[in-house]
């Protein structure tokens, strides 16, 4: 990577910054650095936040309402940042995603993002595909609204849909153990292939490409006629085509490359610890907030105490590609 290359900021795989923590993010931008906490060793890295060092900010969210209402996109573009969006829009399911806005509200947000920032800058994520039983043994899923969402997404100009099947992490089982009768179910691979091919067929008619996140085994087992490919939710090569400039095209070694993740190198500024997610989705791998607290809480806005820091200033962005 050349010394002049800028970095890509991921905001964020670890929480929903556009929905809950834009005030915190804008405060960091005003300071000129992000204080990023390593989720494993809690070391703090200072990451450049100025537009001369940051090429693109990639936002991840299930609710861009506060981001849109606050006019943050316009402010960031005015400052010189390029913006890219990963918008997760699943079927209406207050049971699985209790604090996500109603579907129509989210689709209106999608319309706005595509018209204001261009549809080429937006990935629609229908993710994860989830299967579960409750008491009576009947298997439920979250595919009900997929055809309708696909129709609306196509009308907004969406060209890419990214999906994956739910990962059954132990902490999810622990978190949902108190819900009487709930049991998540992992379909056999043949059923998963059937589902993907049906989704691909429905999307093809709407000129939307289907991609998968970390489903290498399934991709390799699909028939030759299928055009489903692995995704890159942070696609630095595509960001270069959209906005110009110079970015590292290396794979992000911190992601699940062996499982088929195509994401390229970026810096995630979210924190599992400081930024719990208020959506409280049952299948979430991140850190949902306590159900005993009411939003907003004084969390995610506080500065780290000096004694808690192990400061690692990033003077040259080339360090981030290693």
* Multiple choice CATH, 7-128+144-167+188-321, 3.20.20, 3.30.420, 2.30.29, 3.40.50: 3.20.20
Q: What are phi and psi of 248, to 5 degrees?
A: -70, 135
DSSP bridge partners of 160: 209
Burial of 61 from C-beta contacts in 10 A (0-12 / 13-18 / 19+) = buried
Residues 249-264 have pLDDT tens digits of 999 888 988 888 989 9
Residue 173, CA distances (Å) to 13, 131, 138, 169, 284 in order: 20, 14, 19, 7, 11
Residue 12, CA distances (Å) to 87, 141, 303 in order: 11, 26, 18
CA–CA dist 222, 166 (Å, integer):
19
DSSP helix/strand/coil, 138: coil
> What is the token pair recorded at 260?
């088929």
Residues 259-312 have pLDDT tens digits of 889 899 999 999 988 899 999 999 987 766 655 445 554 344 444 433 333 333
CA–CA dist 99, 216 (Å, integer):
31
CB 166 within 8 A of CB 131: yes
CB 91 within 8 A of CB 149: yes
Q: Can you list the residues of the chain whose pLDDT is less than 50?
A: 1-2, 292-293, 297-322
Which residues, at least 6 apart from 123, have a Cβ–Cβ distance to it below 8 Å?
84, 85, 86, 87, 160, 161, 162, 231, 233
DSSP helix/strand/coil, 65: helix
What DSSP letter does each residue of 27-43 carry, written as one string? HHHHHTEEEEE-TTT--
DSSP bridge partners of 122: 85
Element containing residue 111 per DSSP (H, E): helix 103-117
CA–CA dist 270, 274 (Å, integer):
8
pLDDT score at 288:
61
CB 126 within 8 A of CB 206: no
pLDDT score at 312:
34
Domain chopping of the chain, boundaries? 7-128+144-167+188-321
Angle ∠(298,299,300) on CA atoms, nearest 5: 130
Angle ∠(46,48,54) on CA atoms, nearest 5: 150
- For residues 257, 159, 99, 63, the Cα torsion angle rounded to the nearest 10 degrees is 100
pLDDT score at 41:
84
Within 10 angstroms of residue 322's Cβ, the number of other Cβ atoms is 9
pLDDT score at 212:
97
Q: Token pair 């960001």 is at which residue?
A: 239
């Amino acid at each position: 990577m050349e010394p002049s290359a800028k970095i890509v900021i991921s905001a964020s795989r670890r929480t929903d910054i556009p929905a809950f923590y834009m005030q915190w993010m804008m405060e960091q931008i005003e300071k000129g650095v992000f204080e990023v906490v390593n989720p494993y060793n809690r070391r703090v890295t200072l990451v450049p936040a100025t537009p001369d060092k940051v090429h693109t900010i990639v936002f991840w969210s299930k609710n861009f309402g506060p981001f849109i209402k606050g006019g943050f996109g316009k402010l960031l573009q005015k400052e010189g940042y390029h913006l890219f969006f990963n918008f997760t829009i699943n079927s209406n399911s207050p049971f699985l995603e209790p604090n996500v806005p109603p579907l129509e509200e989210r689709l209106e947000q999608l319309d706005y993002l595509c018209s204001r920032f261009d549809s080429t800058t937006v990935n629609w994520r229908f993710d994860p595909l989830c299967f579960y039983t409750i008491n009576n043994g009947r298997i439920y899923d979250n595919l009900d609204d997929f055809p309708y969402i696909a129709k609306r997404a196509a009308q907004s100009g969406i060209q890419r849909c990214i999906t994956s099947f739910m990962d059954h992490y132990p902490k999810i089982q622990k978190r949902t153990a108190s819900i009487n009768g709930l049991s998540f179910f992992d379909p056999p691979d043949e059923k998963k292939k059937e589902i993907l091919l049906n989704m691909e067929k429905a999307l093809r008619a709407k000129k939307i490409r289907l991609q998968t996140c970390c489903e290498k085994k399934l991709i390799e087992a699909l028939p030759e006629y299928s055009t489903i490919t692995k995704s890159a939710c942070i696609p630095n090569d595509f960001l270069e085509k959209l906005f110009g400039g110079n970015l590292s095209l290396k794979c992000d070694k911190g992601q699940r490359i062996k499982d088929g993740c195509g994401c390229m190198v970026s810096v995630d500024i979210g924190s599992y610890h400081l930024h719990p997610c208020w959506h409280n989705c049952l299948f979430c791998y991140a850190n949902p907030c306590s159900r005993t607290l009411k939003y907003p809480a004084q969390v995610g806005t506080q500065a780290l105490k000096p004694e808690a820091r192990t400061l690692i200033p990033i003077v040259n962005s080339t360090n981030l590609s290693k």
